[in-house]
Amino acid sequence: MPSDAAPGGGAPRPAPNHVLEFPGGYTRSVGPVIGRFLSELRDGRLVGVRTAGGRVLVPPTEHDPATGDDVTGEFVEVGPAGTVTTWSWVPRPAPGHPLRRPFAWALIRPDGADTALLHALDLGEFEEGADPPRPLRTGMRVRPRWRAERTGAIGDIECFRPEVTMIGSPSRLEYGLRPGRALGRFLEGLCEGRILGHRCAACGRVIVPMSGLCPRDGVPTSQEVELPDTGTLTTFTVSHVPDPRAPGVPFVSGHVLLDGAGVTMLALVAGVPAAGVRMGMRVRAAWRPRGEWGRTLANIRWFEPLDEPDVPLAAIGDHL
């Protein structure tokens, strides 16, 4: 029982042992109507022809397809922008197709025309086999990409492309920051592979990273405490928007309560699938190689799961 054929149709055939070819192809007269269309194409213009009933046919034909009457001699410049009236998506282009990467075929009604022109629509780079991209829609606005060297053929339009409706807007700002006294000290510790906190004289909590103040009591802090690089994940979020610091998408960021600390630290969590991350999970810092360390929290790449039982939520309830 044959199974579904591979897209593209049919089983691979052996190399041809018979080739049917007309050397040089055919020479065809184009006549005054199609000839005018092709001549205008060569000059980079898209024209249609008006019917006796007033409709504009693009591409032009000698006769009105609705009535069979001769068309008028009036040619009308249309488009070149137009609207997609229907489309199909080619995930695996065939050898005869105009583009080597996935693309759409589209019927495009140029502005000012009453009929549609068939052409290829290039939506950019896609991997072979890709599904139709979201922006591809009936009603989409498109414009031709003209070839630099034109000969008077439908291929003088290389393809159509979407009209510009969105732009990328890159943004980059540079700052020189000074960490301040307490945070500077914290970063010095990180340079040595140590995580330093301050113990509040009023409430006794250890604050990490330290800022020189207890956020709870509003009093200055100065008593240094070194903390281990193990802790408990109190809460987390799964992000599907890429971030240059994260290992990939989706990634997890969460609050880690270091053992002995009184406040949580925001950190990335990795080394576990997003679906496997739990509140109360025990974690340990994954440090970058010592040679890459600097005065930055990035010395800790992220936190990874520790092979220990989860901490009951009641035990971290104050930090949720």
Partner 1 sequence: MRRQVAVVAFAQTRHTAGDGGLQEAEMLAPVIAEVRERTGLRRFGFTCSGSCDYLAGAPFSFVSALDAVGAWPPISESHVEMDAAWALHEAWVRLQHGDVDTALVYGFGKPSQADPRAVFAQQLDPYHLAPLGIDPVSLAALQARAYLERSGATEDDLRAVVARSRASGRGNPFALHLPDPGDTGYDVAPLRACDVAPVTDGAAAIVLAAGDTARGLCGRPAWIAGIDHRSEAHAPGVRDLTRSDAARLAGARAGASGIEVAELHTRFSHEEPILREALGLGGGVEVNPSGGPLSANPEMATGLIRIGEAASRVHDGTAGRTLGHAASGPCLQQNLVCVLAGGGHG
Collapsing DSSP states into helix, strand and coil, what is residue 34? Answer: helix
C-alpha–C-alpha distance, residues 33 and 60, integer Å: 7
Nearer to partner 1, 100 or 290 (CB): 100
Residue 79 sits at the vertex; the CA angle it makes with 76 and 85, to the nearest 5 degrees, is 115
C-alpha–C-alpha distance, residues 146 and 148, integer Å: 6
Collapsing DSSP states into helix, strand and coil, what is residue 43? Answer: coil
Q: Least distance to partner 1 from the beta carbon of 275, Å?
A: 24
Nearer to partner 1, 9 or 248 (CB): 9
Q: Least distance to partner 1 from the beta carbon of 73, Å?
A: 19
C-alpha–C-alpha distance, residues 280 and 282, integer Å: 6
Nearer to partner 1, 97 or 295 (CB): 97
Q: Least distance to partner 1 from the beta carbon of 154, Å?
A: 5
Nearer to partner 1, 98 or 250 (CB): 98
- Edge-to-edge strands of the sheet including 47-50? 56-57, 47-50, 75-77
Nearer to partner 1, 58 or 196 (CB): 58
- Residue ranges that bind partner 1, judged by CB under 8 A: 1-11, 13, 18, 20, 26, 28, 30, 34, 38, 57-59, 61, 65, 85-91, 94, 96-98, 105-107, 109, 115-120, 129, 131-132, 138, 153-155
**Phi/psi of residue 79, nearest 5 degrees:** 55, -140
Structure tokens, 270: 């990795």
Q: Least distance to partner 1 from the beta carbon of 250, Å?
A: 25
Q: Least distance to partner 1 from the beta carbon of 290, Å?
A: 48
